[in-house]
Amino acid sequence: MGKLVVHGGVRLNGSVRISGAKNAALPILAATILLDEPVLIHNVPDLLDVRTMMEILESIGFNVRFEKNTIWVKPSASLKGQVPYEPVRKMRASFNVLGPLAVKCGEASVSLPGGCSIGVRPVDFHLEGLRKLGFSIDVEHGVVKAKREKRLGECYVYFPFPSVGATEHIMITAALLDGTRTIIENAAMEPEIVDLANFLVSCGAKILGAGSRRIEIEGVDRLRSCEHSIIPDRIEAGTYAIAAAATRGKVLLQNVRPDHMMAAIEALNQSGAQIKIDGNNLLVQMNERPKPLKLQVAPYPGFPTDLQPQMIAYLSVADGTSVIVETVFKSRFQHVDELRRLGLKAELTDGTAIVYGVERLQGTIVKATDLRAAAALVIAGLMAEGTTIIEEVDQIFRGYEDLTLKLSKLSAIVEYENG
């Protein structure tokens, strides 16, 4: 495991091009399992998670090539219906291959995803959804087997919580259930779900309502080849925007979709940052200590949970007390302990963080507990006096393409050291 050495006290300055969205690329790659013809996907970020999904596609017999942010996927006529444990252990999003693989092969087996450092993450909505689509589900020795048992005319799937992964999983699976009309109620509305639906529709799927709480899918018997470009990563963009404000810098984010980032933009604005939107560019500038915020983390279009750790890092030096209520992953606060080592003053009570702003953070040695926690520690390190060493930092490369290069271009002084 490598470490990142961050020298604090430098204001970020300059421009940064935002990469394609990891969380759109992963389900779209899972959806290619449904196809009989090759597809080209552009603006794919070169990240560990994307490489893991490629590994899965190759393990079931696909031919995959990745060059300069474009992936070419060529399906195989003889698919294997079993996915090895290792990639699923590494990345939860790989569980979304179960449904499409079971549609193509009649039955499929995928390991249950392992535990996760951001809290309990069950897959019960996925499994219940697949049952509603006519699959039998057996879980034995940590492996889930899904088998297509019934061909149904109409299916209703209701999620108790608008789960991103379960919405994607059911939407992908239902797309190729010929003769079946599926209605998903209380669907997640994230932009990545709309991107996935747009990809599937370009391949010939019939999907209405993606981006709303009700999605309707009319299964088709075949999906054709298409070319698709992944949307910009709103979480990467939000991270750089927060880093810009946190270092009291001035950063132009290029290739962003500001309309996908309204909750984050609003929060930064309320904290005193100046934000200018110009088409696909976003200029973030900040000259003062942030004002404290009351922030509720919620499913899209609410403030994203994947920016909550970074926001806590930022608000650690606010001029007053902030309250951050996490409603998506209620125990996602592992970063708070590490941030405390840098000087954060915070209390945690049942899904809520109360952050008492301090004047400054001070660099020390910390450990990254998960991907976005690592991003929060980078932001804190950039703000802190002196040097911060972030150990076990490699998880950050699951979600941030060219991180050290992009930060260096913004004048940050960061060095990655192999462990």
Token pair of 329, please? 């992953």
Q: Which is nearer to ligand UD1, 305 or 395 (CB)?
A: 305
Q: What type of residue sits at position 188?
A: A
Is the Cα torsion angle 301, 305, 309, 310 positive or negative in sign? negative
> Judged by CB under 6 A, which of 8, 45, 81, 165 binds ligand UD1?
165
> Judged by CB under 6 A, which of 42, 106, 124, 319 binds ligand UD1?
124
Q: Is 97 in the site for ligand UD1 (CB under 6 A)?
A: no
Annotated catalytic residue, options 105, 116, 203, 226: 116
Q: Is 94 in the site for ligand UD1 (CB under 6 A)?
A: no
In whole angstroms, what is the distance from residue 78 CA to residue 83 CA?
A: 14
Phi, psi for residue 264 in degrees, rounded to 5: -70, -40
Residue with tokens 């999904």: 53
> Judged by CB under 6 A, which of 61, 106, 114, 122 binds ligand UD1?
122
In whole angstroms, what is the distance from residue 233 CA to residue 181 CA?
A: 31
The distance of closest approach from Cβ of residue 144 to ligand UD1 in the complex, given in angstroms and rounded to an integer, is 12
Q: Is 409 in the site for ligand UD1 (CB under 6 A)?
A: no
The distance of closest approach from Cβ of residue 221 to ligand UD1 in the complex, given in angstroms and rounded to an integer, is 28
| Contact criterion met (CB below 8 Å) for 311 and 344 | no
Q: Which is nearer to ligand UD1, 125 or 397 (CB)?
A: 125
Q: Which is nearer to ligand UD1, 72 or 161 (CB)?
A: 161
Contact set for ligand UD1, span 1-30 (CB under 6 A): 23, 26
Selected range binding ligand UD1 among 121-129, 146-154, 212-220, 243-251, rule: CB under 6 A: 121-129
Closest residue to ligand UD1: CB criterion: 165
The yes-or-no answer on residue 203 being catalytic is no
Q: Is 158 in the site for ligand UD1 (CB under 6 A)?
A: no
Q: Is 278 exposed, middle or buried (0-12, 13-18, 19+ CB in 10 A)?
A: exposed
Q: Which is nearer to ligand UD1, 127 or 176 (CB)?
A: 127
Q: Is 10 exposed, middle or buried (0-12, 13-18, 19+ CB in 10 A)?
A: middle
Distance of alpha carbon 43 from the chain centroid:
15
Longest dimension (CA), the chain: 64
> Judged by CB under 6 A, which of 123, 207, 244, 284 binds ligand UD1?
123
- Order of strands, edge to edge, in the sheet holding 3-7? 365-367, 387-391, 3-7, 413-417
Residue with tokens 């996908």: 260
> Judged by CB under 6 A, which of 233, 306, 370, 394 binds ligand UD1?
306
DSSP code string of 38-80? -EEEES----HHHHHHHHHHHHTT-EEEEETTEEEEE--SS--
Q: Which is nearer to ligand UD1, 69 or 305 (CB)?
A: 305
Q: Is 232 in the site for ligand UD1 (CB under 6 A)?
A: no
In whole angstroms, what is the distance from residue 264 CA to residue 50 CA?
A: 25
Phi, psi for residue 293 in degrees, rounded to 5: -130, 155
Q: Which is nearer to ligand UD1, 16 or 371 (CB)?
A: 371
Q: Is 164 in the site for ligand UD1 (CB under 6 A)?
A: yes
| One character per residue 176-205, x = contact with ligand UD1 (rule: CB under 6 A) | ------------x-----------------
> Judged by CB under 6 A, which of 166, 197, 251, 378 binds ligand UD1?
166
Q: What type of residue sits at position 261?
A: M
Q: What type of residue sits at position 260?
A: H
Q: Is 95 in the site for ligand UD1 (CB under 6 A)?
A: no
Binding site for ligand UD1 (CB under 6 A): 23, 26, 92-93, 120-126, 161, 163-166, 188, 305-306, 328-329
Which residues form the catalytic set?
116
